Amino acid sequence: MNLKIYNISKRVSPFTPASTEGDFISNTSKIFNENKIDVRVFLPRYGYISERKYILREVIRLKEISVKLNNEELISSVKSAFIPDSRVQVYFNIYPEFYKEVTKQVTSNYQLPKNSNVFDTYLMYCFAALNTLERLYWQPDVILCYNWHTAIIPVLLKTVFKDHEWFAKTKVVSVLSSDEPYYSFPEDGLKKFHIEDTKSLIDPTDLLQAALTHSDAVIQINSKKDNKLDELLKKKKITEVLSSKKEHNKIFNINTSNNNIEFWGPIAKELYEFLDSL
């Protein structure tokens, strides 16, 4: 039985500007799909992503995805498309009031967002990514969460959703790409979304520690010599968590932007074998 794999990310090539994370997801997913492996992707539909160019289509059962914010209920929707030249399904979360704040600069230059709404955007998106699954009647075997934007998901799955039958057999993996600095969420934003123990999550080191602790495995994607995670990964509380993962800590060195299958084929095979061993 092939694994069902769910990528939750803020960047996927070619919908967003080129990145290690986006290329990794796009290329490995294409190879998985060609090998009849059920892999799907969840991505915000930023204002700069053309619905006409990528042929985004409505999904009737995903027209109303609910997320609680303070005492209100946010209702977003999901449209689907395919990664070009493949049948890899991408679910785009539609919520213009939030995603218009996320520019190409934020998604490609890895700058700390200055508008506080950006933090709320990624928190809302994390909840929507999980809430979408039941509407799809699809239970992934593995959820891959990328960088700080989705770091709250491993925490949610092992705390808030720990008794939720839908996720009972799902493994969650934290994926860190070296070209992405690690930020965290402000406490007031976390409180808006009813996330408990917020004080232990507002520092980047603490958020990373929590995400790694609650993950079943860790993947590191290294692409450059100027690793933007170096200092953070050397901190004692982080090295201790990584050490505790032992064989469930995998490193991929991506030294090319080549999309050739000869390069990505072995990486996809190694990735699948790693996930299948969890």
Q: Indicate the pTM of the whole model.
A: 0.95
How many independent structural domains does the chain possess? 1
Domain that holds residue 196: 4-276
- Please identify every stretch of the chain with a pLDDT value under 50, giving residue numbers as ranges: none
pLDDT tens per residue, range 193-239: 888 888 889 999 999 999 999 999 999 999 877 789 999 999 999 99
Residue 114 has a pLDDT of: 61
Residue 172 has a pLDDT of: 98
Residue 112 has a pLDDT of: 56
Residue 72 has a pLDDT of: 84
> In this prediction, what percent of the chain has a pLDDT beyond 70?
95
The enclosing domain of 157 has a CATH number of 3.40.50.2000
Q: 267: burial class by Cβ within 10 Å (0-12, 13-18, 19+)?
A: middle
